Amino acid sequence: MPKILLVDDEPHILELAKMYLEREGFQVETVGNGKDALAGMSDRPDLVILDLMLPDTDGFEVCRQIRSKSNVPVLMLTARKDDVDKIVGLEMGADDYITKPFNPRELVARVKAVLRRSQAGPAPGSVIEMGKLRIDLSRHEVTAAGQAVTLRTKEFALLAALAQNQG
């Protein structure tokens, strides 16, 4: 069951969004400020829904701090409708941006879409680095400590699958 951290200072927004998301089978933790949002990251949510206008810390700053430590998907849900705010939010690392007022069913659909994309794994052309091991997924090349490693197709596929699903 995917975990969602929902960050908003408006209790009715938290209640409405939580109800719709839980109805779809998501586990939802709600917090009302940026400090608690950053503390909630220790629970390793699968997705963060983040308001920009928070009482203690600006949502842009919360997003920046999340991005400095994690690649968890971030969906911004905010009353800030200016194109500049949307562009800044997306450039800071948000994966999607929804303005208030919002349709709760659209929120659920966007959450599902962002999670689908994030769970698909790295896009072709990406590189996975683990210590001295480097795996280039698009070129099907592996190096260990700078030395090329020759692998059969199945061996490469297995190594890539393990690297993409660590743990």
Q: Which residues contact 122 (CB under 8 A, 6 or more apart)?
A: 128, 137, 164
Nearest-angstrom CA–CA distance, 125 and 102: 35
Q: What is the pLDDT of residues 41-76, one digit of tens each?
A: 999 999 999 999 999 999 999 999 998 888 899 999
Alpha helices in 94-152 (DSSP H): 104-119
Query: 154: how many CB neighbours lie within 10 A of its CB?
Result: 8
What 8-state DSSP symbol labels residue 8? Answer: -
Predicted local distance difference test score (pLDDT) of residue 89:
85
Q: What is the pLDDT of residues 73-110, one digit of tens each?
A: 999 999 988 898 898 888 888 999 999 999 999 999 99
Listed in order, strand segments (DSSP E) in 1-132 are 3-7, 27-31, 47-50, 74-78, 96-99, 127-130
Q: What is the pLDDT of residues 122-138, one digit of tens each?
A: 555 578 888 899 998 87
Q: What is the mean pLDDT of residues 29-43?
A: 95
Distances in Å between the Cα of 20 and the Cα atoms of 13, 44, 88, 105, 106 are 11, 21, 28, 7, 10
